[in-house]
Amino acid sequence: MKRPLTRRAVTKILLASPVALTGGSLACQSLSGTASQRLSPEEQKRRQQVAGAASRLTSAVERLGQMEIPIGSEPAVHFTPLLAKK
Name 80's Cβ contacts closer than 8 Å, sequence gap at least 6: 4
CA gap 5, 8 in Å, rounded: 8
| pLDDT tens over the chain, length 86 residues | 577 778 888 888 887 877 776 666 556 655 555 655 677 888 888 888 988 888 888 888 888 788 787 777 777 777 888 888 87
Q: Rounded distance, CA 58 to CA 14, Å?
A: 11
What are φ and ψ of residue 41, in 5° steps? -60, -35
**Could you tell me which of 63, 54, 64 has the C-alpha nearest to residue 11?**
64
Is the whole model's pTM more than 0.75, yes or no? no
Q: What is the enclosing helix (H) or strand (E) of 25?
A: helix 7-27
